[in-house]
Amino acid sequence: MTREDFLARFGSVFENRPDLAEAVWALGPDCGSATALHASFVAVLHGLRGAALTDFLNGHPDLAGRLLEQGAVTEDSAKEQGSAGLDSLDAAARARFLALNEAYRARFGIPFIMAVRDRGAAEILAGFEARLGNTPGQERAEAVRQIGRILLLRLQDRFAA
């Protein structure tokens, strides 16, 4: 696979960060399977530290937030949030998500990040509420773990296509 082919296929796997896919390419990744390639994507993710990690995390949209409502999220994010029903919440559920997004950002300085595919709104809300009790360090680690899961699911989608 050429660099151009790699970036065309996998350049959008990281939320709004094609430069990180470039960093994966620079590792000379094993592109034989989603699982093998995932290891390289996770290595780049784990290489982000301090402000670089914070900037990356802040590039993720709020769940059921205004960007989703405006259609201003990535195709992957829209599909994932839609699969969890977050694009069709009633007014009360949407208000709950908006309030939790604000509380979470106020506490941790980053958006709440969860691999929402195959989850329902109630499960996501429960996760939100439970994770608000974490320390900032625990929550950054959990956000990175969730992104690892999101990366794997997105890679699996690309291999299936």
pLDDT reported for residue 68:
80
Q: Which of 38, 60, 131, 140 is catalytic?
A: 60
The domain that contains 124 carries what CATH number?
Answer: 1.10.3330.10
pLDDT reported for residue 127:
96
- What angle do the packed helices 136-160 and 75-83 form, to 10 degrees? 100
Query: Average pLDDT, stretch 62-91?
Result: 90
pLDDT reported for residue 138:
97
Residue 90: is its pLDDT beyond 90? yes
Domain total for the chain? Answer: 1
Identify the helix (H) or strand (E) that includes residue 38: helix 34-46
List pLDDT tens digits, range 1-53. 899 999 999 999 999 899 999 999 999 999 999 999 999 999 999 999 999 99
Other residues' Cβ atoms within 10 Å of the Cβ of residue 115: 18
Confidence of residue 69 (pLDDT cuts 50, 70, 90): confident
Residue 70: is its pLDDT beyond 90? no
**Which is higher by pLDDT, 101 or 1?**
101
pLDDT reported for residue 27:
96
Q: Is 57 left (phi over 0), alpha (psi -120 to 50) or beta?
A: alpha
pLDDT reported for residue 89:
94
CA 128, 76, 108, 99 dihedral sign is: negative
User: pTM, whole model, 2 decimals?
Assistant: 0.94
pLDDT reported for residue 73:
87
Token pair for residue 50? 């301090």
Is 46 designated active site? no
Give me Rg for the CA atoms of the chain. Answer: 16
List pLDDT tens digits, range 115-137. 999 899 999 999 999 999 999 99
CB 84 within 8 A of CB 139: no
Domain ranges, residue 111:
3-160
